[in-house]
Structure 1
Amino acid sequence: MKLNADVGEGFGPWSVGDDAALMPYLDMANIACGFHASDPDGMDRTVCLALDHGVMVGAHPGYRDLEGFGRRSIPHEAESITRLVAYQVGALQAICDLHGAQVEYVKPHGALYHDMMRCEATFEAVLTAVAAMPGHPALMILAGAQNEKRKQMAECHQVPLLMEAFADRAYSDGGSLLPRGQPGAVYASTQQMVDQVMQIKTSGTVTSVNGREFPLSADTVCVHGDNAESIAAVARIRKALQTG
């Protein structure tokens, strides 16, 4: 199971997280594309940092919402979602072209990620954008038991899917991530993160905030670069994935 993180989420003189500390432990870097965070210089720095560490480059597009960090749902027509994703991934690919690199997958950010998991029309719009991109990138989505229809839709578009779980987020009884505004939604305990990753890896299950255990099969697990506790825990998570 590969380790991924959302990175490059500063803007201008403002930095978020510690990408330099995080990157050596990652397999996959979800790089912000300018709408919820980052800018051309920041994108270039983050791409170079990923390449220096042999980390796979992924695009992390979101709603145009710098003030809200892309965590506010903004209504769009389906065609606008497609263009929104294509525009941002195209910008990151142009930066990658400067360094002979390729965007290998797409992981929508924040509210766009959750909206595509809730709404088939939004998911279809994202798929349409990804399917048109050169290099046949994959689309990263939330792992869970309710993905059969999404798998069928992705097959129709010939877009590979990557199933993602989370090290530092609590799950609801329904299998979605507990909303950030609720108590306990973001873990502050390194051991709690390591235990959740190992449960997913070894048992193919996860336990909800209310103690319900349900199946969860994942290709990759995420730690958040804007969560200081996750950065502190990443070395132990990496070791657990390698040796557990």
Structure 2
Amino acid sequence: MKTFDINADAGESFGRWKLGNDSELFKYVTTVNIACGYHAGDPATMRETVAKARDNGLAVGAHPGYPDLLGFGRRAIPVTEADAVDYMLYQVGALQGIAASEGVRLSHVKPHGSLYAEVARNPGLAVRISTLLQRLQPGLPMLIAPGPSTEKLREAGLPVVAENAVDLDFDDQGQNIIEKTPASKDPDTIAGQALLMANGQARTVSGAVIPMPVQSMCIHGDRPNAVDIARSVRLALEESNITVRSVFGSEN
């Protein structure tokens, strides 16, 4: 029986500002990527989200972004590669410490927003980051879109898992079309895309079906109806005899 992973970006509240409904979302996903304080999140939210994910039996990963609370990490920030590497390590280390205090071992690292895009299209940066992540925790994989960076990481013998967002549109080159502010989307339409992605394909905005060789699909927790989307996606996969299970296995 085929298996597939559903990951979700979570822990994106900050102080008194609340974003997303992690408690409900966690009922339908198998892997979570927790914001580490640069684009969203704060220490208390990080701890709360780690504990909630642990209690739901989910794989727990770090979701580091650019230092951009105002832009939610979705603005392109001109930084050196050295700074990008240090931003990643700083945030992963912070979540790793909080997770360890809750009895949780990190399963992966998934960059966020514009930093994700930069890592995905810059193989040299991807290898540099992953090499240092191995010093932090041997075997710690990156979760990133298929493309030149995933290919280079595999060639270098570094751990990587390919994923992409099921709730974002694709252009004909397979690139995500980013919304400035996520809006509600039709859960049934997203569920149809999920079935394609579980079989290595995706439909673009032009209607073309393109290769999409991924092992995991992402649902963004900040989308207004993220819970409805996650429920529909999971139901569609299970009704198609696809077992929904974390690609990272049982971590905790």
* TM-score with structure 1 setting the length: 0.91
CA–CA separation in structure 1 for the residues paired with 2:178 and 2:99: 33
Q: How much has 1:216 moved relative to structure 2?
A: 1.0
Change (3 A) 1:58 1:116: same
Q: Point out which structure has higher relative CO (alpha carbons under 8 A, 6+ apart).
A: 2
SS in 2 for 1:228: coil
Determine if contact 2:170/2:204 at 8 Å carries over to the other structure: yes
Match of 1:195 in 2: 192
1:227-238 correspondence runs (5 A): 227-238=223-234
Percent identity of paired positions between Structure 1 and Structure 2? 34
**Cα deviation, residue 75, structure 1:** 1.4
- Determine whether 1:208 maps to 2:211: no
- More helix by percentage: 1
Change beyond 3 A, Cα 1:17–1:209: same
Return the TM-score normalized by structure 2.
0.88
1:54 Cα deviation after fit: 0.2
Amino acid at match of 2:159: P
Aligned with 2:216 (options 192, 212, 220): 220
Deviates further, 4-13 or 114-123: 114-123
Distance 1:65 1:181, change over 3 A: closer
| Number of the residue aligned with 1:118 | 121
Partner of 1:166: 165
Distance in 1 between residues matched to 2:91 and 2:34, nearest whole Å: 10
Structure 1, unpaired ranges of 5+? none
Does the alignment pair 1:138 with 2:141? yes
Aligned partner of 2:19 in structure 1 is 16
Aligned counterparts of 1:212 and 1:85: Cα–Cα separation in 2: 35
**Hey, what's the Cα distance between the residues in 1 that align with 2:150 and 2:49?**
30
Deviations 1:181-202 (A, max 9, x none): 59xx866111110000011223
How many residue pairs get aligned? The number is 237
Q: How many angstroms does 1:33 deviate by?
A: 0.5
Match of 2:250 in 1: none
Distance verdict in 2 for CA 1:150–1:200, change over 3 Å: closer
* Mapped partners of 1:151, 1:28: distance in 2: 23
- In the alignment, structure 2 segments of 5+ residues that lack a partner are 241-252
Paired AA for residue 165 in structure 1 = N
Q: Which residue pairs with 2:174 in the alignment?
A: 175
C-alpha separation in 2, matches of 1:177 and 1:131: 28
Structure 1 stretch displaced more, 90-99 or 225-234: 225-234
